[in-house]
């Protein structure tokens, strides 16, 4: 399945149905009076977060969504039917923006979460509504309220606990395949990963979701390579795992290249906890490994981890480091009930 993480669509709610002008006419009833019913309300435009979707691909083939118009009122005080809603089914992590104003309308992060984007028009009153002691036979009815319309931008940001970043061929996909059941494409050429991949990782009896995104190269924030828009899929992560290839020309420069692109992207990624690791250590000799670790330590200003996804060396230690950062973040965001009660008397 192809991956699509942004779509532009046009939506329109349903107009309200018109009220009816009608009079009761039956044999032996001389003064029947007005009996025109009200119009039905138009359908809403609703966005619904559903299970089983992980892309916005459906919105590539259909960009116009219109709710149904409310039914018109009829005689014998029959009200018009309510128009059917237009339901936009989206995956978890979808943000909805107003295309013209650029304003965030909704951020759907849980299954079953829904939001009304546009309200359907109210139905018009029938002539029964205007009957009074001075106007026994009103011949007026209201038209239904007009529909609303809007152009929306849908943006998908995958929800994961940890994210993998690095240059192309840094070993990100190999690491994801090693620690989870995900099956990303792996090859010995750059940009084998063309779309984000998710995997569920088990560590010491617990689980977390790990996201792999396409590699970043120098100038990605200016559109070089695949650009940097895939960084949106690690915006929700609690921690970043920055992998640097031990076989690269200079591990320190490779690290700084990716960090520069992350800083240029912004969106708070530089403030997230980062674990730095030298990958593919099985492909270099001991002397090269020592040199690359020293270079990476100077560039990152911290002691990096060293791992090999091929042999499994130190992979578990890296997972434990990720789990530790995730647990620390969750503890801050979800304190124990006792502490919460102290903070909010």
291 a known binding residue? no
Task: Please indicate if the annotation marks 194 as binding a ligand.
Answer: yes
- Is 166 marked within a binding site? yes
pLDDT of residue 327: 85
Overall residue count recorded for the chain in this entry: 345
The DSSP secondary structure of 145-175, one letter per residue, reads: PPP-EEEEEEEE----SEEEE-STTSSHHHH
170 is in an annotated binding site: yes
Confirm whether residue 304 is marked as ligand binding.
no
- Which helix H or strand E contains 321, and what residues bound it? helix 315-333
pTM assigned to the model: 0.76
Per-residue pLDDT reduced to its tens digit, 230-278: 788 888 888 899 999 888 889 899 999 888 888 888 888 888 888 899 9
What is the number of other CB atoms lying within 10 angstroms of the CB of residue 267? 13
Burial class (CB in 10 A: 0-12, 13-18, 19+), 163: buried
CATH number for the region 1-156 comes to 2.70.210.12
Is 34 flagged in the annotation as binding?
no
CA–CA separation, 138 vs 129, rounded Å?
9
The CATH superfamily of 162-337 is: P-loop containing nucleotide triphosphate hydrolases (3.40.50.300)
List for the chain the helix, strand, coil content (%; round to 5).
25, 25, 50
DSSP H or E stretch at residue 305:
strand 305-306
Residue closest to 246 by CA, chosen among 296, 211, 212: 296
Intervals of the chain under pLDDT 70: 1-3, 184-194, 220-223, 225-226, 332-345
Residue 180 marked in a binding site? no
Q: What pLDDT score was predicted for residue 337?
A: 45
Residue 335, annotated ligand binder? no
Q: Which residue has the tokens 């100038």?
A: 219
Q: How do the domains of the chain map onto residue ranges?
A: 1-156, 162-337
- Has 99 been labeled as part of a binding site? no
């Amino acid at each position: 399945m192809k991956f699509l993480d942004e779509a532009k669509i046009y939506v329109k709610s349903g107009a309200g149905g018109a009220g009816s002008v009608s009079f009761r006419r039956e044999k032996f009833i001389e003064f029947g009076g007005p009996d025109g019913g009200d119009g039905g309300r138009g359908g809403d435009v609703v966005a619904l977060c559903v299970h089983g979707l992980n892309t916005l691909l459906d919105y590539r083939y259909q960009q116009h969504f219109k709710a149904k118009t409310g039914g018109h009122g009829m005689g014998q005080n029959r009200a018009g039917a309510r128009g059917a809603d237009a339901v936009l089914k989206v995956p978890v992590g979808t943000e909805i923006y107003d295309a013209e104003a650029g304003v965030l309308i909704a951020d759907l992060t849980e299954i079953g979460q829904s939001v009304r984007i546009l309200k359907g028009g109210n139905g018009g009153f029938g002539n029964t509504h205007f009957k009074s002691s001075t106007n026994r036979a009103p011949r007026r009815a209201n038209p239904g309220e007009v529909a609303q319309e809007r152009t929306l931008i849908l943006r998908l940001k995958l929800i994961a606990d940890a994210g993998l970043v690095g240059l192309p061929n840094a070993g990100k996909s190999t690491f994801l395949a090693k620690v989870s059941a995900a099956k990303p494409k792996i090859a010995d050429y750059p940009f084998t990963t063309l779309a984000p991949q998710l995997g569920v990782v088990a560590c010491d009896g617990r689980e977390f979701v790990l996201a792999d995104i396409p590699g970043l190269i120098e100038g990605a924030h200016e559109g070089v390579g695949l650009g940097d828009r895939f960084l949106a899929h690690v915006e929700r992560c609690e921690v970043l795992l920055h992998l640097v290839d031990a076989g690269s020309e200079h591990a320190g420069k490779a690290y700084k290249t990716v960090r520069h692109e992350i800083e240029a992207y912004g969106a708070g990624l530089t403030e997230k906890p980062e674990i730095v690791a030298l990958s593919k250590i099985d492909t270099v000799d001991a002397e090269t490994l020592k040199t690359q670790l020293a270079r990476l330590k100077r560039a990152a200003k911290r002691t990096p981890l060293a791992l090999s996804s091929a042999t499994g060396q130190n992979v578990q230690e890296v997972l434990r480091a990720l789990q530790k950062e995730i647990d620390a973040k969750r503890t801050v965001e979800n304190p124990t009930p006792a502490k919460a009660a102290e903070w909010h008397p």
